[in-house]
Amino acid sequence: MFFVSCHIDLSLDDYIQSFDDYIQSLDNYIQSPDDYIQSFYNYIMKRKKIPLHTQILLALILGAAFGAFFNVDSNKLNFILQINGEEQSIVVGNWDSLVVSNKAENVSQVFYGNDQIQIVNYFKRIPASDLRAIEVVVHKGSKSQAIGNISTVEKIGTMATAIRPVGTLFIRLLSFIAIPLVIASLIVGAASIKDIKKLGRIGMKTFAIYMATTAIAITIGLTLANVIAPGNRVSDEVKNRLMGTFRQESKENIVKDMEIDITDFFVNIVPMNPIDAMGKGNMLQIVFFAVFFGVTLTFIRKKHSKPIIRFFRGVSETMIKMVDVIMKIAPYGVFALIAATIADFGFDILSTLIWYMFAVVLGLILQTSLVYSFLVKFFGKTNPIKFFKSMRNAQAIAFSTSSSAATLPVTMECVEQNIGVPKQISGFVLPLGATINMDGTALYQGVAAVFIAQVYGFDLGIAEQLTIVLTAVLASIGTAPVPGVGIIMLVMILQAIHVPPEGIALILGVDRVLDMLRTVTNVTGDAAVAVAVAEGER
């Protein structure tokens, strides 16, 4: 009864009001169709979102396939001619022989079917003023064709080489991050360690482990080169062909007589002008300045040091955020870099240097999987599988850019975010490592030096091999973390053991691939040491 009376007491207006409220609440509850579509889309995207490291790995594989498919034809050449100030081009393919005569000097040179690189290099060497006197006669079957007024001779690019700028853009984006990131994180790192003794201890420990891993790497390289003896497996014919093809390029790499002066090396760590060091990207000088600056900040009044530290912390955070943004295009950059490299790569040469490559690659695998696993497990108290998984992105970027410096921002991100190394440690250990620790490069230099000596018939005794260890450690410290410098430092090692430095011509053809691989080892080595040092300071 009570119920009924209550019910009847409600007016019509009340009913309408409560119905409105009900509809309103339904409206809030039920989403519009658009919202439904949006949330369904989010759901699908979340489920289907491929992790970045898988995207990068896919980009590597697809890029390699794309590059192999759109391979640069090794039997075609593009002759660019200058006729009455106008540019014309003639494509020549599948020649039986190609005779280049220099009418001014009355000399001629004959090239054959597989000599594409030799021809391109030959023309690169001719000064522009002499090109007028050059005439080429192409013989194909019973036909021949004469070509004059040549200005350049080049390979014919494909779709895969055309996308190279995307990769270059990616490398440039990462490279410009490196120096501000290193400066900012080192200053903040050094200032926050405060205790100068602790900083000294970390510095000494880091340096000692870096040197030890490098020495182990060269020893592995030397042992493999002596056991496998790749140089004794090269025929005279292959030797002459390689020397002919890369003679010019090797001369360009032998810039001057390089001598190692240890005193000079240490003196040069102190920059005369830190801004100049930053402009030139001299990492060792930058590291010195930033650490000194950071430590000194702790000596001045807090009132003055605090805003500076806060400023550099802001710079470092911004740089790290920039890495995140840049990494969004990593799959495209990696794809383009790998595609262009593979497309442009002369695969024929691989088979001639297969034993040499085998020794280097085996050494890099041993160093990376055994030495670093040991370091990470016993000194870093970290599971090696977790370590390698955490490093996937940095390794893929190192492989595709061949530059530890360009990879540095990504290495820092992996080590800090995935492994949990404190910023104080990684900010100090990793930039230093990118500069002075190049285990992969040192290992490769060990194999290469013995290989070249073997081909030339030099017998390297224990004294020479020890010289290789010493010079390669120093070369690894002095090698700039950018593509292809390892081979230039190799010249220094060859000179130290009195092997003709022109010998680098033998290995230039495969240097690009090995550079990619050794950079992966370089970067992984830096990270492994960071993990070990961090554990020691916990």
* Structural contact between residues 234 and 455, judged by C-beta atoms closer than 8 angstroms: yes
Q: Which of 275, 276, 283, 277 is nearest to 178 (CA)?
A: 283
Residue 209 vs 480, nearer CB to ligand ASP: 480
Using a CB cutoff of 8 Å and minimum separation of 24, what contacts does 236-242 make?
Answer: 238/352, 239/455, 239/506, 241/352, 242/349, 242/352, 242/353, 242/505, 242/506, 242/509
Footprint of ligand ASP on 432-491 (CB under 6 A): 438, 441, 479, 481-486
Smallest distance from the beta carbon of 395 to ligand ASP, in angstroms? 12
Cβ at position 269, least distance to ligand ASP in Å: 19
- Number of amino acids touching ligand ASP (CB under 6 A): 16
Name the minimum Å distance from CB 246 to ligand ASP.
Answer: 17
Best CA proximity match to 53, nearest among 525, 506, 395, 387: 395
**Residue 271 — left, alpha, or beta (φ > 0 → left; ψ -120 to 50 → alpha)?**
beta
DSSP β-ladder status, 134-140 and 107-112: unpaired
* Residue whose CB is less far from ligand ASP, 213 or 402: 402
Contact set for ligand ASP, span 296-355 (CB under 6 A): none
> Nearest distance from residue 441's CB to ligand ASP, in Å?
3
- Please, what is the minimum distance in Å from the beta carbon of residue 485 to ligand ASP? 4
The per-residue b/e assignment along 508-524, b for 16 or more CB within 10 angstroms, e otherwise, is bbbbebbbbbbbbbbbb
Residues 356-395, one symbol each (x = binds ligand ASP by CB under 6 A, - = not), give ----------------------------------------
Question: Interacting stretch for ligand ASP, rule CB under 6 A, among 173-181, 385-393, 501-509, 514-522?
Answer: 514-522
* 61's tokens: 């594989």
Query: In whole angstroms, how close is the CB of 492 to ligand ASP at the nearest point?
Result: 13
Closest C-alpha among 383, 431, 400, 391 to residue 524:
391
Considering the complex, what minimum distance in angstroms separates the CB of residue 416 from ligand ASP? Answer: 20
Helix 486-496 × helix 236-253 angle, to 10°:
110
Name the residue number minimizing CB distance to ligand ASP.
486
Question: Which is closer to ligand ASP, CB of 80 or CB of 258?
Answer: 258
If the CB atoms of residues 400 and 441 are measured against ligand ASP, the closer one turns out to be 441
Strands ordered across the beta sheet of 150-154: 86-93, 76-83, 150-154
C-beta of 163 vs 443, nearer to ligand ASP: 443
Tell me the DSSP string of 33-99: HHHHHHHHHHHHHHHHPPPHHHHHHHHHHHHHHHHHHTPPPTTEEEEEEEETTEEEEEEEES-SEEE
* Cβ proximity to ligand ASP, 485 vs 529, nearer residue: 485
411 half-sphere exposure, CB direction, 13 A CA radius: 35
The helix-helix angle for 439-455 and 196-228 (nearest 10°) equals: 30
Indicate which single residue of 214, 219, 368, 402 sits in contact with ligand ASP (rule: CB under 6 A).
402
- Of 506, 518, 527, 531, the one binding ligand ASP (CB under 6 A) is 518
Q: Which part of the chain contacts ligand ASP (CB under 6 A), choosing from 206-214, 284-292, 305-313, 397-405?
A: 397-405
User: Please, what sign has the CA dihedral across residues 513, 175, 416, 211?
Assistant: positive
- C-beta of 175 vs 522, nearer to ligand ASP: 522
Q: Which residues contact 294 (CB under 8 A, 6 or more apart)?
A: 186, 187, 188, 189, 190, 191
Backbone angles phi, psi at 105, to 5 degrees: -100, 0
Contact flags string 163-182 toward ligand ASP, x per CB under 6 A: --------------------
- What is the C-alpha to C-alpha distance for residues 524 and 372, in angstroms, rounded to an integer? 8
Q: By CB under 6 A, is residue 404 in contact with ligand ASP?
A: yes
CB of 440 to ligand ASP, least distance (A): 7
Give the binding range for ligand ASP (CB under 6 A) out of 63-71, 183-191, 372-380, 517-525: 517-525
Minimum distance from CB of 220 to ligand ASP (Å)? 16
Applying the rule CB under 6 A, the residues between 480 and 509 that interact with ligand ASP are: 481-486
- The one-letter amino acid at 11: S
Residue 440: name the closest of 254, 216, 284, 265 by CA: 216
Q: Which is nearer to ligand ASP, 179 or 485 (CB)?
A: 485
Q: Which stretch binds ligand ASP (CB under 6 A): 334-342, 348-356, 373-381, 399-407?
A: 399-407
Interface residue list for ligand ASP (CB under 6 A): 402-404, 438, 441, 479, 481-486, 515, 518-519, 522
